[in-house]
Structure 1
Amino acid sequence: MNARRTPWWHPLIALLLGALAGIGIAVLGEHYSVTLIGAPWFVAALLIIVGIVVLVLALNVHKYANTDPKKRPNTFVNPTLAFNTLVLCKALILAGAALAGWYGGQIIPSISHFEASFYEHAVVECAVTAVVCLIDMVIGLVGEHLCQLPPTEGPENPKLEAAARKRDVAPAATKNM
């Protein structure tokens, strides 16, 4: 199975859709006098914990994949866990982008009411949570890169490429002498 990297435009679209939804919910909340904006502080804390767990899993997969098979320690990394870690990284990219847009979008219509105590707290909560979501998105991108397997003993292996170049260059160098 060959997993592909997440294209750059997927998080961008998720960010824009999240921003549109956040703006829409903030405008509807103002229009109907309902408090729909803001984020409890435990949401930001929970998102930080999720990001740290995914990063630790990705670092374990990277360490396991880049260690010589004869020298690998007995760890809990197996192909299923490695695949699930990659899926978590991809999900964290898209969820982080969409939630950053959601919370950032709520800030846009609410910033004009910043002098009110409720809106001040809501804007600060949304700003902190949006930054945490962007950090999670970056952790997902880094984790996706860390879960990439090194080339196998195929034509893309750097050791085999160097040997092929050496083999091709050596006869040509002796003919010129």
Structure 2
Amino acid sequence: MRTIRPAWLVVATVVLGVAGWTAAELTSRASLPLPVLPFSSLATMGLIVVVCLILGFKVRHWRDGHRDRVLDPLVAARTLVLAQACAYAGAVLLGWHLGILVDQLDTIPLRGDLGPIWNIAALGGGGIVMMVVGLVVERFCKLPPEDTDAGSTPRPKREGRGEEEFA
């Protein structure tokens, strides 16, 4: 499985930032409420982060040599997928709420209540936390390179498509 490319996280954040800004503009013109997640969604984001960290620490513990129990390879692979999904979801949430926040910056002096602005900023911060945890747990799942003998050389690669030649 490939590792996450940070450039893709940046692309997702920028694309969703533009989409969030556009959605905020359209909803403002239509006198609709902002398309923002409720503050309670931070609890769900936090739960995802905690589960990802717990599973990641189990994989890291096994990887670092504490192999008193067998680690199911499927659990390790699922932990890696969860970490990558967490990072991408964080990029999406950060971009969306950052776009809305940029749209709302010019209304801050006119607002009496800054609650929605703090809500948007908190959800963007939760997206940053999800991205960081996803990248860290992904690193936990990476195996160190194998030790090889200094005198041994790798076997040459055979030509052909896997068919053996018989003499």
8 Å CA contact retained: 1:66, 1:150: no
Q: Which residue of 1 aligns with 2:34?
A: 36
What are the residue-to-residue correspondences of 1:18-167 with 2, within 5 Å?
A: 18-67=16-65, 72-74=67-69, 77-114=71-108, 115-117=110-112, 120-152=114-146, 157=147, 160=148, 163-164=149-150
Q: Secondary structure at the match of 1:150?
A: coil
Which residue is 1:8 aligned to? 6
TM-score (norm 1): 0.78
The letter for the 2-side match of 1:56 is: I
Separation (CA, whole Å) in 2 of partners of 1:37 and 1:91: 22
> In the TM superposition, what is the alpha-carbon distance from 1:117 to its structure 2 partner?
4.2
Contact 1:16 1:101 in 2 (8 A): yes
C-alpha deviation, 1:25, in angstroms = 1.0
Structure 2 stretches of 5 or more lacking a match? 153-167
AA aligned to 1:54 is: C
Cα RMSD for the two superposed structures: 1.8
Task: Name the amino acid aligned to 1:42.
Answer: S
2:132 is paired with a residue of what secondary structure?
A: helix
Give, in whole Å, the separation in 2 of the partners of 1:64 and 1:88.
18
Q: Name the CA distance, whole Å, in 2 between partners of 1:117 and 1:37.
A: 20
Equivalent-residue separation in structure 2 for 1:4 and 1:109 (angstroms):
35
Q: What's the TM-score, normalizing by structure 2?
A: 0.83
Instruction: Point out 4+ residue stretches in structure 1 off by more than 6 angstroms.
Output: none
Rounded Cα–Cα distance in structure 1 between residues aligned with 2:112 and 2:42: 20
What are structure 1's unaligned runs of at least 5 residues?
Answer: 168-177
The aligned length equals 151
Q: Give % identity.
A: 27
- Post-superposition Cα deviations, 1:84-109, rounded to whole Å, max 9, x if no partner, equal 00001111111101110101111111
- 1:11-51 Cα shifts (integer Å, max 9, x gaps): 00110011011101110111100003333121112112211
CA contact under 8 A between 1:18 and 1:102: conserved in structure 2? Answer: yes
